[in-house]
Amino acid sequence: MRAETVDRFQRAARNDASAGRFDPATSPAGIFPAQYLRQAVDRGWIRGPSSVVERIQPASLDLTLGTTAYRLQCSFLPDRESSVEDKLRRYTLEEFSIADGAILERGRAYLLPLQEELALPESVRGRANPKSSTGRLDIPLGYTGPLYLEVVPRSFIIRVQTGLSLSQVRLLTGDPGEARLSDAELAQLHLSKPLVLAGTKAIPAHDLDLAEGLFLSLDLTPDEHGHVGYRARKNSRVLDLAAVGRYAWDEFWEPVRSEDGPRLMLEPEEFYLLLSREAVSVPPELAAEMSAYDPAAGELRTHYAGFFDPGFGYRGEDWPSGSRATLEVRARDVAFMIEHQQRICKLTFERLHEPTEMLYGQGIGSTYQDQKLTLSKHFVSQGPRGQLTLPDTPLLRAPQRRLAP
């Protein structure tokens, strides 16, 4: 740890008692809300550009790309015997600048240093996840050092540049298992603050699908056009991740229809956007995370973006609430049949140290509140209030009846 950082920690420790600030060493297990993340920046636990405070979310921080990218021979994991820098010297094919933008090819692994660094106290750990526009990583207690993001474009050729945010980090204290709500606690909380809804009505507590978290199921009800989801097109043009509202949806996506009843066969390694049957509501004192489908149940990868910040789908106790989750789904290796109302993913809920002062939603520029089947912010908006819901597509032609001879 740099000497100036040590001095800053010592000054912060001396001032904590008089300032009445959060002390992670004596706090129970929980996730940092927005106001604690601001303290973490002030105290030097999170270091980065001067704009870092502006990227604080209700219970997470958006991380930004630095100026350099490394094209890799292969992906790798650091270990106790070697650092990321050691691995880069061994596996880098090319180092290049992304300061003015650069293209990342599909199917190639890249490592991108981030602008932010961490210098965490011994009682604080981190957890990183990709954003909704693009694997979870646990950051150990007391970690001090730089952060990196591995990017492997799978569906589109992409263009990235310095300052772009593709990942998020949460800070937390204590054992994550202690911060996580049990199934009994979820069922009890649901009675006063509904966590999942059908339409605008809370799902009865006895109908919750609980097993170390709250399961969501799949909605394959066809819309008026017969569509149940969307699949990434092959061989599309470059997608600039710094562009907002630039692209027509059908340049990159094609609609898919159910087959043989309310079911859909996923083609191997194809990327789909589907919709949860339930609407989700995350109250101000909790944060949620969506985990992938259990690999023991099949070769299916669900929802690459896992953080649900406090306020997602939440309108307060006197208003109908809930926002359905757009699910990012890919079948591995073999074709995979999915069916309407099938379990597709699981939400776990964790306590914040205190209710956040900032809620997810339109008030802070959140993109995916009130979503139906929603594309990322790079595509032209078609829905109300700036929502990026996919627009209407051509109606199915009526089937032609064969006349009896």
Instruction: Return the closest-CA partner of residue 214 out of 251, 179, 189.
Output: 189
Q: Give the global pTM.
A: 0.83
For residue 378, what pLDDT is reported? Answer: 76
Whether residue 223 is found in the same domain as residue 347:
yes
State residue 395's pLDDT score: 40
- Beta-bridge mates of residue 172: 31, 125
Which pLDDT belongs to residue 394?
A: 40
Question: Is 166 found in the same domain as 254?
Answer: no
Q: Do 237 and 212 belong together in one domain?
A: yes
- Let me know whether 66 and 108 are in one domain: yes
Same domain, residue pair 183 and 108: no
Shared-domain flag, residues 107 and 20: yes
Domain end, chosen from 144, 174, 204, is at 174
The answer for 293, left when phi > 0, alpha when psi is -120 to 50, beta otherwise, is beta
**What pLDDT sits at residue 13?**
38
CATH number for the domain that contains residue 272: 2.70.40.10
**Can you give the pLDDT at residue 300?**
62
- 393, part of any domain: no
* Residue 398: per-residue pLDDT: 35
CA distance linking residue 248 with residue 198, whole number of Å: 31
pLDDT of residue 80: 77
Q: What is the pLDDT of residue 245?
A: 79
* Secondary structure (3-state) at 2: coil
Same domain, 169 and 182: no
| Predicted local confidence at residue 18, as pLDDT | 36
The tokens for 156 are 């589109």
Residue at which a domain ends, from 150, 174, 198: 174
Please state, in angstroms and rounded to a whole number, the distance separating the CA atoms of residues 56 and 340.
37
pLDDT score at 305: 53
pLDDT along the chain (405 residues), means of 10: 39 42 87 96 95 94 96 87 90 97 95 96 90 63 93 92 94 92 96 89 91 91 84 90 84 87 89 90 94 58 72 75 85 87 91 92 54 66 43 38 36
3-state secondary structure of 252: coil
Same domain, 140 and 260: no
Q: What confidence score (pLDDT) does residue 131 get? A: 57
Q: Which domain holds residue 296?
A: 178-379
Residue 401 belongs to some domain of the structure: no
